[in-house]
Amino acid sequence: MKSIDFEKTGGLVPAIIQDSNTRAVLMLGYMDAEALEATKSSGKVTFYSRSKKRLWTKGESSGNFLEFVDVRVDCDGDALLIRARPTGPVCHTGSDTCWDEANPGDEDFLPELEAIIASRKEQADTPGGEANSYVAGLLRRGTAKVAQKVGEEAVETVIEAMGSDDNRFLNESADLLFHWLILLQAKGFRMADIERLLAERHRQRR
């Protein structure tokens, strides 16, 4: 993650909160260095409240927390994009967002899963916590091991495709896709790279 320049903005930087699944913009808050660290360590989005003059975890009163997924710093190093999973309405008015917009559920979980894998990859060399997750452990064993796992899951998926148990086939397919996403990032790529290639092929064949 690019370094954030808290001194440039007097200790506080704006933090735009985005639903990691639907990509809806949920709210705007402010963070200092301590709030950002609390967000990453607790897994719950935490701000610095300018009115209360203290750290404030979104949902500490209502129970509608924002579960932290990942963070990005803008090009100037003075603003944050926090992607999170809301556990309820975000605005104090009861609205899904602070702009009074609906944020309906979305089945498009893959971008969120990809962001989680990216986070585990960043932590793969860090002892303790999420660095000890299955994904981080697999990545530490190297690309060849990840590729071997994809091969194993592919064989199991083919075997189940030849059978009649749809549930087993779907579960093996999910395992295959999950490990393929890990392999992509082990090689330094994302789904967007594959999407661009497929789109290019489609344009060439029209």
Percent of residues, the chain, with pLDDT higher than 90: 76
| Of 140, 134, 143, the residue nearest 178 (C-alpha) | 134
Domain with CATH 3.10.20.810 in the chain: 7-86
Give me the residue label for tokens 């926090």.
Answer: 82
Q: Residue 141: phi, psi to the nearest 5?
A: -80, -5
pLDDT value at position 2? 61
pLDDT value at position 107? 56
pLDDT value at position 44? 96
Tens of pLDDT along 11-34?
A: 999 999 999 888 899 999 999 999
The CATH number of 108-205 is 1.10.287.1080
> Binning pLDDT at 50, 70 and 90, where does residue 65 land?
very high
Domain with CATH 1.10.287.1080 in the chain: 108-205
Token pair of 179 as six digits: 């490990």
- List, in sequence order, every residue forming a beta bridge with 56; answer none if it has no partner: 47
- List, in sequence order, every residue forming a beta bridge with 16; answer none if it has no partner: 28, 81
Give me the mean pLDDT over the 107-125 stretch: 82
pLDDT surpasses 60 at 130 = no
Token pair of 105 as six digits: 């559920």
Give me the mean pLDDT over the 193-199 stretch: 93
> Binning pLDDT at 50, 70 and 90, where does residue 128 land?
low
pLDDT value at position 106? 53
Tens of pLDDT along 156-186?
A: 999 999 999 999 999 999 999 999 999 999 9
Which fold is adopted by the domain 7-86? Answer: Ubiquitin-like (UB roll) (3.10.20)
Contacts of 23 (CB under 8 A, 6+ apart): 111
Give me the mean pLDDT over the 57-76 stretch: 93
